[in-house]
Amino acid sequence: MIKTNFGKLKLTIILGLLFIALACCVYFVPQIKDFDIFLLKNIQKIFYFVPLNYALSISDFYFNEINKYVIYTLLFCLLYANKNYAGILICALSIYYADFYRLIKDLIARPRPLVEFLAAGVHPHSTNSFPSGHSFLSAVVFGLIAYYGFKYANNNFKKWFIVVFCILFVLLVGLSRLILGVHYFTDVIGGYLLAGFVVSFAILIDSTVNNLK
Q: Is the peptide bond before 131 cis (omega within 30 degrees of 0)?
A: yes
**Catalytic residue (choose from 105, 110, 134, 151):** 134
Domains of the chain: total: 1
Instruction: Please say if 125 is a catalytic residue.
Output: no
Contact 145, 162 (CB under 8 A): yes
Half-sphere exposure of 206 (CA within 13 A, CB side): 22
- The backbone torsions φ and ψ at residue 128, rounded to the nearest 5 degrees and listed phi first, read -90, 150
150-154 long-range contacts (CB < 8 A, ≥24 apart) are: 152/78, 152/81, 152/82
| Model pLDDT for residues 46-91, shown as the tens digit of each residue | 999 999 889 989 988 888 889 999 999 999 999 999 999 999 999 9
Instruction: Please say if 134 is a catalytic residue.
Output: yes
**Catalytic residue (choose from 145, 148, 183, 194):** 183
Write out the residue range of the structural domain in which residue 69 sits: 2-211
| Model pLDDT for residues 105-148, shown as the tens digit of each residue | 999 999 999 877 777 667 777 789 999 999 999 999 999 999 99
